[in-house]
Chains A and B, each alone.
Chain A
Amino acid sequence: MDTRANGFANRVRLVGSVLCGTVLVVFTSLVLYSVIMRYFFGAPPMWGEELPKLLFVWMIFVGAGFAYLSGANIRMTVLIDRVPKKPRRVIELIMHLIVVVMLLVILWYSVPIYQLTRNFDSLATGLSEGWKYLALPIGACLLLINEFIRIARILRGEPDRSGSIADKGH
């Protein structure tokens, strides 16, 4: 495989993962800040629950995208490892195509949800409710990219090796 493309993919993965870690640090600090404000000063911030929750939702779906890209996902490979190479390729291809369909369904039906919610502003934060529902489609796009990489790998004849618990341990 082209090492330059590989190097680029790794850099994207690294930046994405660091971003998710930073979001975690930020919302942990926000929760701490509101505990301290409430307990010692009796003045909890308005956004005390809403803002950390919003960041959490983003961390989950964008994080899932990067976690799957780095092979940190959980799957069971005990059985499929015993299937001979050729039928295994067919089974894996079919399964990945089904997953692609599912991710496309998520994308397709996220549109009406976003259109419906973007006009509502959250009272606590003043932000549009649409922000909350935007995280899932963006995560789904990352997961789709990951699916294409995995499908391409299977088509080249390599086994599907992303994130097996038998060797990753999660």
Chain B
Amino acid sequence: MRRVCGDDWNRAAPMLLTIAIILLFMFVLLGMDIAYAIGVAALGFIAMSQFADRPIDPVLFAQSMTNGVDSYALLAIPMFVFAGELMTKCGVTRRLINFAASLVAHRPGGLANVGITGNLFMAGISGSAVADAAATGSVLIPEMKRRGYSSRYAAGVISAAATMAPIIPPSIMFILLASIANISVGELFIAGILPGLFLYVGLILMSGFLARRRNLPTEPKMASRERWSAVRSGLLPLGAPFIIVMTKVLGIATPTESAAVVVLYTLALGVFVYRELSPSDFLAAAVGASLTTAVIMMTVATSQIFGSIAVLAGLGTMIQDTLLTLSQNPYVLFIIVNIALLMLGTFLDPLPLMLILSPILFPLMTSLGVDPIHLGLVMVLNLVMGMVTPPIGLNLFVMSRISGVGIIDVFLGGLPYYIVLWTCLIVLTYVPAITLFLPNLLLR
């Protein structure tokens, strides 16, 4: 063990950390607002450290909240949320679902195919799994029920398909992860494309397979004129991910700047092409996006205190030393990290988990030769899976509310798809080439 500080502190710090984490879990489960629960746990750590031999200055508490969100890279988040809200206001969800239907509704899998493909398109527009699940689910789940699908299957497939959202650019989680782990947002965005498509292929194959086995209905094939109009009106919104990718690949703008360009593009689309965006829609989208972001960033701000504490108290080195005594092989450590993240993710919100753990995991894994972009992708995929796994997951709650079945039923209904996602996770963990191929080809 490296000795970074006194023996007493080495013994006290893990104990204080354990107490802080127990406090965090307890308050979250008892219904304290998540941002507060993280803050209170961090404050608990600072308070207890006053009695140890390395007291932490409480000024750090207020200071790291402001410094933790004062970042140009994070500025992309409200703008991507804004663009997403504007898209929803001008009927893009419906158009994308129509577009998806024109491509896959007549193949085995029917509306489940539409749900998966629709979520793939939505993933390129918005950066949040919950937003995508809510948007596509509220359109498709009632429709699927009418066509004779069970509620639990309908909710399950949408909930699983929404996990593509944080993997395919834009992605709120990638922006946050990049800023905390000091890697390039643009590279993460580009790296997410192939794994996202990989998940898509897995999900759509499973949908076809289940449809044949369970004899699920397919939709009649659209007439070619109807089909053409669905493709035409569904293709334009996909200009947004195109802008994000091209500005990065050609080196024209940073992701933050491209987010602003995407807002402008969406605005032009809503006002001049679809003509569905009124000034009051515009204002409502801005207000909605600013409040949504404020709530997310509050969680980020309090999580950052934990990050600062971890550095100051030398917690990172302690956890790293413990993990390194277990194994020095990155592949073995990846298993441990995957299992730990999956388990923690089923209980806790992905954002705070990511913010608290990355300052510890990134130096450790990259020192063993793991590419930070690859680690970032694996980490985000893990945490998103936590959002769709019981007992606690934001996506499950949203799907349960829309479909009217319990969260366990949503989970069981989507179980075949979850098996696909878990398999993909293992493949993506151990075949870094899928993630790194595009960034290496285009950016390095």
A residues touching B (Cβ–Cβ < 8 Å)? 17-18, 20-25, 27-28, 31-32, 34-35, 39, 49, 52-53, 56-57, 59-64, 66-68, 70, 72-80, 91-92, 95, 98-99, 102, 105-106, 109-110, 112-113, 132-133, 135-137, 160, 163-167, 169-170
Q: Which residues of A contact B288 (CB under 8 A)?
A: 21
Which of A20, A23, A66 has most B Cβ within 10 Å?
A20
A27 to B76, CA, bound (A): 11
How many of B's residues come within 8 Å of A, CB to CB? 62
A15 to B260, CA, bound (A): 25
Interface pair B69/A27, CB less than 8 Å apart? no
How far is the CB of B72 from the nearest CB of chain A, in Å?
5
Stretch at the interface among B22-30, B106-114, B161-169, B370-378: B22-30
Q: Which residues of A contact B75 (CB under 8 A)?
A: 27, 31, 52-53, 56
Interface pair B261/A32, CB less than 8 Å apart? yes
B residues touching A (Cβ–Cβ < 8 Å)? 27-36, 39-40, 43, 58-59, 61-63, 65-66, 69-72, 74-75, 78-79, 82, 130, 134, 252-253, 256-257, 259-261, 263-264, 283, 286-295, 297-299, 301, 349, 391-392, 394, 397-398, 401
- Contacts A80-B31, A166-B401, A170-B394 given: A53-B62 contact, CB under 8 Å? no
A33 to B435, CA, bound (A): 34
Q: Which residues of A contact B287 (CB under 8 A)?
A: 17-18, 20-21
Q: Which residues of A contact B32 (CB under 8 A)?
A: 75, 95, 98-99
Interface pair A74/B33, CB less than 8 Å apart? yes
How far is the CB of A94 from the nearest CB of chain B, in Å?
9
A136 to B58, CA, bound (A): 15
- Contacts A20-B291, A132-B70, A170-B130 given: A60-B301 contact, CB under 8 Å? yes
Interface pair B62/A136, CB less than 8 Å apart? yes
A28 to B20, CA, bound (A): 38
Closest-by-CB residue of B relative to A30 is B260
Instruction: Choose among A20, A59, A106 the residue that contacts B65 (Cβ–Cβ < 8 A).
Output: A106
Closest-by-CB residue of B relative to A107 is B62
A170 to B133, CA, bound (A): 12
